Every structure is written in C-alpha cells, then in structure tokens.
C-alpha cells in the first residue's frame, strides 16, 4: 500500500455481519484549504458507523484524509464529500461524520452529516446501571 495521499478507500469484510455494533474513530489532524483565502483549515473529524458487509481499512482512510491537505473546500462541502465517499465504498447500515473545525475569525464551525441504509432501523439501546460510589448505583 502506498504512503502517499490517495482518494482510494479500501475495505475489508465485516467480521460480525449478524450483529449491529458501532465503530468510533477520531481523526484529529484533518486539514484542507479555504477556497476563498487559501489559508489552511484544521478540524477534528469524529466518525461513527455501524458496518453492514464492509469496514473501512484504517491506513487507506488515513491516506484518503491526507489527500485533502492541499485541496480548497468549504467546510460543508468537504464533510459531505467524505461521507459520500465512505458510503459509496462501505454501504454501512448507519454512518455519522462530525467535522469540528478550529476557530477562524472568531467562529468555530461544526458540520454533522449522516446516512442510514434504506430499511435499517436501530435496535433499542440497553441501559445498564452504573456504579456510583456514594449510592452504590446510579439510575
């Protein structure tokens, strides 16, 4: 596999296709360039997805993210493009991408986009009691 920036995302088979489970990733070194000023934009990307038949391979994701370093893009456009590219290669049951851009001109920008596979419905969350030192259990 290359160590140069690349728009190619690779996948591998989901090892637990029968189960819904969440994969959480944080990508703190995303950079692109403001298309108006040419100044660099920095963001922390938060990716959560429930795979269907495929998972994204991490090194290819890293090189894909790196490919935006010199690319001019508005925050909204680049966040949506990344999500679209991930959906195209993985076809996940569910995916959410939040791009938390650092301050520029006194403004923080957060862009959140998501996709659900048609017909997929999340299962109910199971809430478990959590231990609390003072009352033994938190409800």
Predicted confidence (pLDDT) per residue in 95-121, tens digit? 999 999 998 878 899 999 999 999 998
Residue in this structure with the two tokens 């995302």, named with its chain if needed: 9
Q: Active-site positions?
A: 34, 41
**Is-contact 48 96, C-beta < 8 A?**
yes
Predicted pLDDT of residue 124: 83
Chain-centroid distance, C-alpha 99: 8
* Fold of the 11-138 domain: GTP Cyclohydrolase I, domain 2 (3.30.1130)
Distance CA 86, CA 11 (A): 10
* Residue-range domain boundaries for the chain: 11-138
pLDDT digits (tens, 9 = 90+) for 36-76: 999 999 999 999 999 999 999 999 999 999 999 999 999 99
């Amino acid at each position: 596999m290359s160590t140069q920036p690349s728009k190619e995302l690779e996948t591998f088979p989901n090892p637990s296709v029968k189960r819904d489970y969440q994969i959480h990733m944080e990508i703190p070194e995303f950079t692109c360039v403001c298309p108006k000023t040419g100044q660099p934009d920095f963001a922390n990307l938060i990716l959560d997805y429930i795979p269907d038949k495929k998972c994204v391979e991490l090194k290819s994701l890293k090189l894909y993210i790196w490919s935006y370093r010199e690319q001019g893009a508005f925050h909204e456009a680049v966040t949506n493009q990344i999500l679209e590219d991930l959906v195209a290669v993985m076809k996940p049951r569910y995916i959410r991408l939040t791009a938390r851009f650092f301050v520029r001109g006194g403004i923080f920008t957060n862009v959140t986009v998501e996709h659900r596979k048609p017909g997929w419905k999340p299962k109910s969350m199971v809430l478990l009691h959590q231990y609390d030192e003072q009352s033994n259990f938190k409800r």
